Homo-oligomer: A and B are copies of this chain.
Amino acid sequence: MNTAYTNAVQVLIDELGRLPGVGPKSAQRIAFHLLQISSQDAAKLARAITEAKARIRFCERCFNISEHTQCELCNDHRRDPSLLCVVEEPRDIVALEKTGEFRGRYHVLGGTINPIAGVGPDQLRIKELLARIDSENVIEVICCTNPNIEGEATAMYLARLIEPLGVTVTRIASGLPVGGDLEYADELTLSRALEGRQRLAAT
Protein backbone atom coordinates (compact mmCIF):
# COMPACT_ATOMS: atom_id res chain seq x y z
CA MET A 1 0.00 0.00 0.00
CA ASN A 2 1.26 3.42 -0.94
CA THR A 3 1.23 6.10 1.72
CA ALA A 4 0.32 8.76 -0.85
CA TYR A 5 -3.18 7.28 -1.12
CA THR A 6 -5.77 7.96 1.50
CA ASN A 7 -7.64 4.92 2.68
CA ALA A 8 -10.91 5.48 0.79
CA VAL A 9 -8.98 5.83 -2.47
CA GLN A 10 -6.98 2.66 -1.81
CA VAL A 11 -10.20 0.71 -1.17
CA LEU A 12 -11.64 2.04 -4.43
CA ILE A 13 -8.48 1.14 -6.40
CA ASP A 14 -8.48 -2.36 -4.87
CA GLU A 15 -12.12 -2.94 -5.77
CA LEU A 16 -11.66 -1.65 -9.33
CA GLY A 17 -8.55 -3.83 -9.70
CA ARG A 18 -10.69 -6.94 -9.19
CA LEU A 19 -12.60 -6.28 -12.44
CA PRO A 20 -11.60 -8.33 -15.48
CA GLY A 21 -9.12 -6.57 -17.76
CA VAL A 22 -8.46 -3.84 -15.21
CA GLY A 23 -4.83 -3.90 -14.03
CA PRO A 24 -3.35 -1.83 -11.18
CA LYS A 25 -2.56 1.11 -13.49
CA SER A 26 -6.06 1.17 -15.04
CA ALA A 27 -7.63 0.85 -11.59
CA GLN A 28 -5.68 3.90 -10.45
CA ARG A 29 -6.62 5.83 -13.58
CA ILE A 30 -10.32 5.00 -13.20
CA ALA A 31 -10.24 5.86 -9.48
CA PHE A 32 -8.77 9.31 -10.13
CA HIS A 33 -11.29 9.81 -12.90
CA LEU A 34 -14.14 8.97 -10.50
CA LEU A 35 -12.75 11.43 -7.94
CA GLN A 36 -12.72 14.19 -10.51
CA ILE A 37 -16.19 13.78 -12.05
CA SER A 38 -19.31 15.14 -10.34
CA SER A 39 -20.79 13.24 -7.40
CA GLN A 40 -23.98 12.70 -9.40
CA ASP A 41 -22.12 10.96 -12.23
CA ALA A 42 -20.21 8.74 -9.81
CA ALA A 43 -23.45 7.92 -7.99
CA LYS A 44 -24.99 6.90 -11.34
CA LEU A 45 -22.33 4.21 -11.77
CA ALA A 46 -22.69 2.98 -8.18
CA ARG A 47 -26.47 2.85 -8.62
CA ALA A 48 -26.23 1.04 -11.98
CA ILE A 49 -24.20 -1.71 -10.30
CA THR A 50 -26.60 -2.09 -7.38
CA GLU A 51 -29.68 -1.92 -9.65
CA ALA A 52 -28.40 -4.50 -12.11
CA LYS A 53 -27.45 -6.88 -9.29
CA ALA A 54 -30.87 -6.46 -7.68
CA ARG A 55 -32.90 -6.92 -10.85
CA ILE A 56 -30.99 -9.45 -12.92
CA ARG A 57 -31.38 -13.16 -12.41
CA PHE A 58 -30.92 -16.11 -14.75
CA CYS A 59 -33.63 -17.40 -17.09
CA GLU A 60 -34.86 -20.68 -15.61
CA ARG A 61 -35.08 -22.24 -19.05
CA CYS A 62 -31.94 -21.20 -20.97
CA PHE A 63 -29.86 -19.54 -18.17
CA ASN A 64 -29.47 -16.31 -20.11
CA ILE A 65 -29.54 -13.17 -17.94
CA SER A 66 -33.08 -11.92 -17.45
CA GLU A 67 -35.20 -9.54 -15.41
CA HIS A 68 -37.97 -12.16 -15.19
CA THR A 69 -38.21 -15.91 -14.56
CA GLN A 70 -37.84 -16.46 -18.30
CA CYS A 71 -35.79 -14.29 -20.63
CA GLU A 72 -37.15 -12.32 -23.59
CA LEU A 73 -35.69 -14.80 -26.07
CA CYS A 74 -37.40 -17.78 -24.46
CA ASN A 75 -40.67 -15.82 -24.29
CA ASP A 76 -40.47 -14.79 -27.96
CA HIS A 77 -42.84 -17.24 -29.63
CA ARG A 78 -41.71 -16.24 -33.12
CA ARG A 79 -38.40 -17.98 -32.44
CA ASP A 80 -37.97 -21.54 -33.67
CA PRO A 81 -37.77 -23.91 -30.66
CA SER A 82 -36.50 -26.81 -32.78
CA LEU A 83 -33.14 -25.08 -33.29
CA LEU A 84 -31.05 -24.88 -30.10
CA CYS A 85 -27.80 -22.95 -29.94
CA VAL A 86 -25.52 -24.00 -27.06
CA VAL A 87 -23.15 -21.31 -25.76
CA GLU A 88 -20.72 -21.01 -22.84
CA GLU A 89 -21.84 -17.71 -21.29
CA PRO A 90 -24.74 -15.22 -21.53
CA ARG A 91 -22.44 -12.71 -23.27
CA ASP A 92 -22.08 -15.15 -26.18
CA ILE A 93 -25.83 -14.79 -26.78
CA VAL A 94 -25.35 -11.04 -27.15
CA ALA A 95 -22.62 -11.60 -29.76
CA LEU A 96 -24.77 -14.07 -31.73
CA GLU A 97 -27.90 -11.89 -31.53
CA LYS A 98 -25.94 -9.00 -33.04
CA THR A 99 -25.59 -10.99 -36.27
CA GLY A 100 -29.39 -11.06 -36.59
CA GLU A 101 -28.98 -14.44 -38.34
CA PHE A 102 -30.16 -16.89 -35.73
CA ARG A 103 -33.89 -17.29 -35.05
CA GLY A 104 -33.82 -20.32 -32.76
CA ARG A 105 -33.41 -20.60 -28.99
CA TYR A 106 -30.32 -20.66 -26.79
CA HIS A 107 -28.93 -22.71 -23.93
CA VAL A 108 -26.14 -21.41 -21.68
CA LEU A 109 -23.81 -24.12 -20.41
CA GLY A 110 -22.10 -21.91 -17.86
CA GLY A 111 -18.58 -22.81 -19.04
CA THR A 112 -16.75 -25.66 -20.71
CA ILE A 113 -15.44 -29.02 -19.64
CA ASN A 114 -12.00 -28.25 -18.24
CA PRO A 115 -10.40 -31.02 -16.16
CA ILE A 116 -7.44 -28.78 -15.19
CA ALA A 117 -9.80 -26.22 -13.63
CA GLY A 118 -11.83 -29.07 -12.12
CA VAL A 119 -14.90 -28.46 -14.31
CA GLY A 120 -16.57 -31.72 -15.39
CA PRO A 121 -19.86 -32.25 -17.26
CA ASP A 122 -21.75 -32.24 -13.94
CA GLN A 123 -20.78 -28.64 -13.25
CA LEU A 124 -22.33 -27.51 -16.55
CA ARG A 125 -26.04 -27.27 -17.41
CA ILE A 126 -25.96 -30.41 -19.54
CA LYS A 127 -28.66 -32.22 -17.55
CA GLU A 128 -30.95 -29.22 -18.21
CA LEU A 129 -29.95 -29.28 -21.89
CA LEU A 130 -30.94 -32.94 -22.25
CA ALA A 131 -34.27 -32.25 -20.54
CA ARG A 132 -34.95 -29.41 -23.01
CA ILE A 133 -34.02 -31.56 -26.02
CA ASP A 134 -36.53 -34.07 -24.75
CA SER A 135 -39.38 -31.68 -23.97
CA GLU A 136 -39.01 -29.02 -26.67
CA ASN A 137 -38.80 -31.24 -29.80
CA VAL A 138 -35.32 -30.01 -30.71
CA ILE A 139 -34.15 -31.10 -34.19
CA GLU A 140 -30.70 -29.51 -34.26
CA VAL A 141 -28.24 -28.51 -31.56
CA ILE A 142 -25.62 -25.98 -32.74
CA CYS A 143 -22.49 -26.05 -30.56
CA CYS A 144 -21.30 -22.44 -30.34
CA THR A 145 -18.66 -22.98 -27.67
CA ASN A 146 -15.42 -21.08 -28.29
CA PRO A 147 -12.98 -22.47 -30.91
CA ASN A 148 -10.30 -23.39 -28.34
CA ILE A 149 -9.31 -26.73 -26.79
CA GLU A 150 -11.96 -26.68 -24.03
CA GLY A 151 -14.70 -25.44 -26.37
CA GLU A 152 -13.89 -28.12 -28.97
CA ALA A 153 -13.76 -30.86 -26.34
CA THR A 154 -17.10 -29.76 -24.90
CA ALA A 155 -18.67 -29.72 -28.39
CA MET A 156 -17.33 -33.25 -29.03
CA TYR A 157 -18.69 -34.42 -25.67
CA LEU A 158 -22.12 -32.98 -26.45
CA ALA A 159 -22.13 -34.55 -29.92
CA ARG A 160 -21.42 -38.01 -28.48
CA LEU A 161 -24.15 -37.52 -25.90
CA ILE A 162 -26.86 -36.04 -28.11
CA GLU A 163 -26.41 -37.66 -31.55
CA PRO A 164 -27.66 -41.07 -30.27
CA LEU A 165 -30.95 -39.35 -29.35
CA GLY A 166 -31.59 -38.79 -33.07
CA VAL A 167 -30.82 -35.07 -32.88
CA THR A 168 -28.43 -33.43 -35.36
CA VAL A 169 -25.43 -31.80 -33.63
CA THR A 170 -23.52 -29.16 -35.60
CA ARG A 171 -20.54 -26.92 -34.86
CA ILE A 172 -20.00 -23.29 -35.96
CA ALA A 173 -17.36 -23.00 -38.70
CA SER A 174 -13.73 -22.18 -38.01
CA GLY A 175 -11.89 -20.25 -40.70
CA LEU A 176 -10.46 -16.90 -41.69
CA PRO A 177 -12.16 -13.86 -40.17
CA VAL A 178 -13.83 -11.64 -42.79
CA GLY A 179 -11.41 -8.86 -43.75
CA GLY A 180 -8.52 -11.02 -42.50
CA ASP A 181 -5.32 -11.77 -44.32
CA LEU A 182 -4.22 -15.23 -45.47
CA GLU A 183 -0.61 -14.29 -44.87
CA TYR A 184 -1.18 -13.57 -41.19
CA ALA A 185 -3.51 -16.47 -40.41
CA ASP A 186 -2.08 -19.16 -38.13
CA GLU A 187 -1.63 -22.67 -39.54
CA LEU A 188 -4.45 -24.19 -37.50
CA THR A 189 -7.02 -21.61 -38.60
CA LEU A 190 -5.87 -21.92 -42.20
CA SER A 191 -6.09 -25.71 -42.21
CA ARG A 192 -9.57 -25.48 -40.65
CA ALA A 193 -10.55 -22.97 -43.33
CA LEU A 194 -9.34 -25.41 -46.00
CA GLU A 195 -11.15 -28.37 -44.43
CA GLY A 196 -14.37 -26.37 -44.21
CA ARG A 197 -14.21 -25.11 -47.82
CA GLN A 198 -17.55 -24.80 -49.56
CA ARG A 199 -18.51 -25.00 -53.20
CA LEU A 200 -19.13 -21.69 -54.94
CA ALA A 201 -22.43 -21.70 -56.78
CA ALA A 202 -21.84 -20.27 -60.26
CA THR A 203 -25.11 -18.54 -60.92
Question: Which residues of A pack against B, CB within 8 Å?
Answer: 2-9, 11-12, 14-16, 18-22, 26, 28-35, 39, 41-56, 65-67, 72-73, 89-91, 93-94, 97-98
Q: Could you tell me if B89 and A52 are in contact, using CB atoms closer than 8 angstroms?
A: no
Q: Could you tell me if B11 and A90 are in contact, using CB atoms closer than 8 angstroms?
A: no
Determine how many copies of this chain the complex contains: 2
Q: Could you tell me if A49 and B72 are in contact, using CB atoms closer than 8 angstroms?
A: no
Q: Is the interface of A mostly helix, strand, loop or mixed?
A: helix
| Contact flag A5-B94 (CB < 8 Å), given A30-B20, A33-B20 | yes
CB nearest neighbor in B for A19: B30
Q: Could you tell me if A28 and B67 are in contact, using CB atoms closer than 8 angstroms?
A: no
Q: Could you tell me if B35 and A42 are in contact, using CB atoms closer than 8 angstroms?
A: no
Q: Could you tell me if A53 and B73 are in contact, using CB atoms closer than 8 angstroms?
A: no
Q: Could you tell me if A11 and B65 are in contact, using CB atoms closer than 8 angstroms?
A: no
Inter-chain CA distance A187–B66, complex, in Å, is 55
Inter-chain CA distance A29–B67, complex, in Å, is 19
Q: Give 11 pairs: A residue, B residue, CB < 8 Å, sorted on A.
A: A4-B97, A8-B48, A8-B56, A9-B65, A12-B52, A20-B29, A35-B52, A35-B53, A39-B54, A46-B47, A46-B50
CB nearest neighbor in B for A66: B6
Inter-chain CA distance A9–B8, complex, in Å, is 27
Inter-chain CA distance A43–B41, complex, in Å, is 17
Which residues of the other chain, B, contact A31 by a CB distance below 8 angstroms?
A: 52
Which residues of the other chain, B, contact A2 by a CB distance below 8 angstroms?
A: 94, 97-98
Inter-chain CA distance A45–B14, complex, in Å, is 9
Q: Could you tell me if A8 and B52 are in contact, using CB atoms closer than 8 angstroms?
A: yes
Q: Chain B's nearest CB lies how many Å from the CB of A17? A: 10
